[in-house]
A and B are shown apart, each in its own frame.
Chain A
Amino acid sequence: GDSVTQMEGPVTLSEEAFLTINCTYTATGYPSLFWYVQYPGEGLQLLLKATKADDKGSNKGFEATYRKETTSFHLEKGSVQVSDSAVYFCALSDRGGGSEKLVFGKGTKLTVNP
């Protein structure tokens, strides 16, 4: 079945550091790929997405590129802020599966220190 593997962390960085969170996937079809974020005490919200190969999703300074050849969707940010401290989830939704449900990675907790 479909699956998502992401680095589990926790990851601790200083403000203005570069961030990479690795995400790879296995899918039977042609999935759409997502990064969701959960800030402390808040619900799950979409950070960015990409729906076809070579698409780049971006939001709030975060970027991720859909790489079909390496089945990857790594999240990057050039300069993190304290406010980026959260748990980040990589996810896929596979077309043709009947429900297009989200399959999530286990999440990566990021802490950014001032």
Chain B
Amino acid sequence: GAGVSQSPSNKVTEKGKDVELRCDPISGHTALYWYRQSLGQGLEFLIYFQGNSAPDKSGLPSDRFSAERTGGSVSTLTIQRTQQEDSAVYLCASSLAGRAQETQYFGPGTRLLVL
């Protein structure tokens, strides 16, 4: 079946604008994760969804970042009032049930550039 998909693949925005990033996980996967990959910080966890709930939001860097998941499927990560330090590749991953031993399958990422 299809893997994890993300859109857009690239996004260029101006400082202060809001952006929405979309993730479509593998069908049937209840666990969904957002990560951020940047040169300075490496790969960082942002938020975890189990179904439509987000029991772990500990990685969100500020209150400008929010995410939701609807229908136990698609998730949207929203960044308000973007800053240049938000420039990074945003990765989405899904796994079957969110257990530690499961493989997380990653999407191709959204490359965000804030000018």
A contact residues vs B (CB 8 Å cutoff): 31-32, 34, 36, 42-46, 49, 51, 89, 91, 93-95, 97-107
- If A31-B100, A32-B100, A94-B100 touch, whether A103 touches B45 (CB-CB below 8 Å) is yes
Please indicate the chain B residues that have their CB under 8 angstroms from the CB of A99 in the complex: 33, 45, 48, 55-56, 58, 98
User: Which stretch from B16-24, B60-68, B70-78, B103-111 is at the chain A interface?
Assistant: B103-111
Please indicate the chain B residues that have their CB under 8 angstroms from the CB of A101 in the complex: 33, 45, 48, 56, 59
Instruction: Pick the contact of B103: A31, A43, A49 (CB < 8 A).
Output: A49
Q: Is B1 an interface residue (CB 8 A)?
A: no
Asked if B107 and A107 make an inter-chain contact with CB atoms under 8 angstroms apart, the answer reads no
Asked if A95 and B43 make an inter-chain contact with CB atoms under 8 angstroms apart, the answer reads no
Asked if A43 and B100 make an inter-chain contact with CB atoms under 8 angstroms apart, the answer reads no
User: Once A and B bind, how many residue pairs between them come within 8 Å at the CB atom?
Assistant: 67
Q: Is B35 an interface residue (CB 8 A)?
A: yes
B contact residues vs A (CB 8 Å cutoff): 31, 33, 35, 42-45, 48, 55-56, 58-59, 91, 93, 98-109
Extra inter-chain contacts (8) besides given A43-B91, A99-B56, A100-B31, CB under 8 Å: A32-B101, A45-B106, A49-B103, A95-B99, A99-B33, A99-B48, A102-B43, A104-B43
Please indicate the chain A residues that have their CB under 8 angstroms from the CB of B103 in the complex: 34, 46, 49
Please indicate the chain B residues that have their CB under 8 angstroms from the CB of A103 in the complex: 45
Asked if B56 and A98 make an inter-chain contact with CB atoms under 8 angstroms apart, the answer reads yes
Asked if B101 and A107 make an inter-chain contact with CB atoms under 8 angstroms apart, the answer reads no
Instruction: Pick the contact of B91: A31, A44, A98, A105 (CB < 8 A).
Output: A44
Please indicate the chain A residues that have their CB under 8 angstroms from the CB of B44 in the complex: 104
Whose C-beta in chain A lies nearest to the C-beta of B56? Answer: A99
Asked if A100 and B98 make an inter-chain contact with CB atoms under 8 angstroms apart, the answer reads yes
CA distance A99 to B31 in the complex (A): 9
Whose C-beta in chain B lies nearest to the C-beta of A36? Answer: B106
CA distance A44 to B48 in the complex (A): 18
Please indicate the chain B residues that have their CB under 8 angstroms from the CB of A100 in the complex: 31, 48, 98-100, 102
Please indicate the chain B residues that have their CB under 8 angstroms from the CB of A95 in the complex: 99-101
